[in-house]
Amino acid sequence: MPEGHTVHRLARTFAELFGGQILEVTSPQGRFDAGARLLDGLRLQSAQAWGKHLFLGLSREDGGGSDPLDDHLLWLHVHLGLYGSWTFAGDGTDDVAHAIGAPRRRVGERESVSALPAVGADGPGPWNPPEPRGQVRVRLLGEHAVADLTGPTRCEVVTAAERDRAIARLGPDPIRADADPEAFVARVRRSRTSVGAQLMDQSVIAGVGNIYRAEALFRAELDPWTPGRDVPAETLRTLWTDLVDLMHDGVRVGAIVTTRPEDRAAPGADVPPARPVRQNTDGTPGAVPREESFYVYQRAGQSCRRCGTPVVVEDMAARKLYRCPGCQR
DNA sequence: TGTACATGAGCAC
DNA sequence: TGCTCCTGTACAT
């Protein structure tokens, strides 16, 4: 269940584990057989993230990933949607162990990497990856690692032109260096649609999901229900800058943490969350525990860490919106 | 074994 | 706005 930072981490992981390698592409589930046949035996040249969209560029050429080959690439376009996940496993070689960490590195909340020896891997030579678990739509098998995709909302093979058209529909991505914050500011202020709803619109800003939406609006002390056109441009620039920082931290750490150290374990920490939520730094020494990671997300009924007012949850465009009525007015 | 829920998005009306 | 699709997990029965 990714937001943009997860997809950027995935792109980086694909480049590290499979970059420049010829991949064996299959669809254990069978629902991607035609696409898998198109990609099978091609070399991974590029791994890119735009918002929540992952694009893996493959070709028959050995071009070292240089841009001039772009027109020759076929792109695997994946959107994880609400349930999608990538699961990685390595053969336990030093290189892979280094790349994926030991004993495991989670790339997103539900993406896991196992460095456990694969089935039958007891010496030099070809290794036998673990059997696919669950409904694996597509499996990418490289020299030392395997990646299994389950539950994507989108998994398709597209041309470079089709990839470009998909990207053109997206707003600026705060994690990308080439993003234009003024495009975001102008787009929000053009509409009377609430700023909270617009933050979830991927054509306004790409990569923001329900958690970053709730948390960034809290940090900006901005009422999510404020019409976009009524939000001062300077406030939106500050919001953008904060999202850039938060989402870059998310890419670096592998988890969403929006609370400042001085606000953790403040009022409200005495009430456990209604449901445990997996954090991809579970077990990592020094990681901020989930119950201290957010100001408002999934903290309905608990006291605001800043003002003590109970956090509320509301429906906005069919999604749950968390906010503090005391701080966000 | 059944049900509810989840960090998303496209489509019909 | 409501429905649908995609899947795994936790919890209740």
Separation of A315 CA and C2 C1' (Å): 14
Rounded-to-integer distance, Cα A241 and Cα A247, Å: 10
Question: A173-273+280-323: same fold as A4-167?
Answer: no
Whether A2 is catalytic: yes
Which residue in the list A2, A132, A172, A224 is annotated as catalytic? A2
Superfamily grouping for domain A4-167: MutM-like, N-terminal (3.20.190.10)
Whether the beta carbon of A276 falls within 7 A of nucleic chain C: the reply is yes
Give yes or no for a contact between A276 and A293, defined as CB atoms under 8 angstroms apart.
Answer: no
In the structure encoding, which two tokens stand for residue A43, read together? Answer: 């070399």
Domain spans in chain A, listed from the N-terminal domain onward: 4-167, 173-273+280-323
Residue corresponding to tokens 């099978």: A40
Rounded-to-integer distance, Cα A168 and Cα A162, Å: 10
Mind listing the pLDDT tens digit for each residue in A192-241?
999 999 999 999 999 999 999 999 999 999 999 999 999 999 999 999 99
Q: Give the residue from A239, A247, A142, A250 showing the smallest Cα distance to A195.
A: A239
Q: Which nucleotide is nearest to A318 (CA to C1')?
A: C1
Residue corresponding to tokens 């841009």: A67
Whether the beta carbon of A153 falls within 7 A of nucleic chain B: the reply is yes
Q: Which nucleotide is nearest to A52 (CA to C1')?
A: B8
Rounded-to-integer distance, Cα A224 and Cα A159, Å: 38
Rounded-to-integer distance, Cα A282 and Cα A288, Å: 9
Question: May I ask the CATH class of domain A173-273+280-323?
Answer: mainly alpha
Give yes or no for a contact between A140 and A23, defined as CB atoms under 8 angstroms apart.
Answer: yes
Whether A319 is catalytic: yes
Whether the beta carbon of A52 falls within 7 A of nucleic chain C: the reply is no
pLDDT, one tens digit for every residue, chain A (329 residues): 589 999 999 999 999 999 999 999 999 999 999 999 999 999 999 999 999 999 999 998 765 545 545 667 899 999 999 889 998 988 877 566 444 332 223 333 334 444 444 444 454 457 788 888 889 999 999 999 999 999 999 999 999 999 999 999 999 999 999 999 999 999 999 999 999 999 999 999 999 999 999 999 999 999 999 999 999 999 999 999 999 999 999 999 888 999 999 998 754 444 444 333 334 444 455 678 888 899 999 898 899 999 999 999 888 877 889 999 999 98
Mind listing the pLDDT tens digit for each residue in A120-147?
445 445 778 888 888 999 999 999 999 9
